[in-house]
Amino acid sequence: MSSIPHGGQLVNLLASSEEARELTREAETLKKLTLGLRDYSDVEMLGIGAFSPLTGFMKRDDYESSRSHMRLMNGLPWGIPITLSVDKGEVSEGERVALHAPDGSLAAVFDAEEIFAYDKKQEAREVFKTEEEAHPGVAALYAQKELLAGGSLKLVTPPRHGSFPGYRLTPTQTRAAFDERGWKTIVGFQTRNPVHRAHEYLLKCALEIVDGLLLHPLVGETKSDDIPADTRMKCYEVLLADYFPSERVLLSVMPAAMRYGGPREAILHCIIRKNYGCTHFIVGRDHAGVGNYYGTYEAQEIFNNFSAEDIGITLLKFEHSFWCNRCEGMASTKSCPHGPEDRVSLSGTKVREMLANGQRPPREFSRPEVADVLIEATRRVVSDQ
């Protein structure tokens, strides 16, 4: 049986066919607000219930409570505020507006129930633990408009994506897939990077104790130097084809934008996977981190602020894993007594250099099939420059 959604009920903001027709006609008379990629991702996540129990962009009380106390006003844990920024005079309090996708198509109708000011630097400090614009999450926050608009929305048109159509499952659909497969316990894994041997080790350890795995890569907006989603998806496909039992893994994409919020984003990612039906969630080393802004295991330690009943999903907290030449296999600091000189550990910079030169990282670091996908993608990038 899948997990109970956050707040007890899975939100569905998708308009029925009749509602959609009526709202589409009404939208022609409404003020038009065109969304950026991040806001559009948030509208999709709200609409399909991935952000349950939210029924729209946060109003002031939930915004301030989640920002400063990591909880909604009703007491439910929440890691990062979900907000819509607007310019002064762009939207009036009490006004209904049409939200359009970046391509200009109608996405949703939004009731701006509250317009309020906010302190960007305070949000940066409390959510991202830094005011430095070098942090990509902070940079995105500083680029927002000067006011926030909170209120409910109705998703008029399900997002139309040209990429990964077979993998875009909503929380309702993943839950149905789990039930169809007879999975009672499901572990979710968040990734914005290709899965290397250390990740594979964590996933297989988790599969020893649950019925199934939801491999759930984030495919919303990421940093420009992150590996593109289409390349990552090819890596997942070749890895699953050769190294995992197909009947125990479901690959599906998660359309949220990456915020690089480290510990606070780990909370959000955990809640999202709970809404998708996962009963367990892997929180690894430096989850959703960037640079040196967060401690190695801070994303795990932040959950000490909540009880198991608060979170409502079992956390699997793994330490740093690696290949040990003396153990002749994957291990972690919990299971391996040997020193760094026996461990295969490569920096991201070193791996990128090897890929750019057409060199496979050692098998102990990356499966050769995955490395081949990355080498080919790197060659294409270099040839296009």
CA distance 349 to 287: 19
- Residue ranges of the alpha helices (H) in the chain? 17-27, 37-47, 60-69, 120-123, 136-142, 171-181, 197-207, 229-243, 263-275, 298-301, 308-311, 348-356, 368-384
Residues taking part in catalysis: 192-193
In sequence order, what are the residues at sequence separation of 6 or more whose Cβ sits closer than 8 angstroms to the Cβ of residue 93? Answer: 112, 113, 114, 115
Question: Which of 153, 131, 130, 126 has the alpha carbon at shortest distance from 47?
Answer: 153
CA distance 2 to 175: 6
CA distance 246 to 244: 6
Buried b (16+ CB within 10 A) or exposed e, 301-310: ebbeebeeee
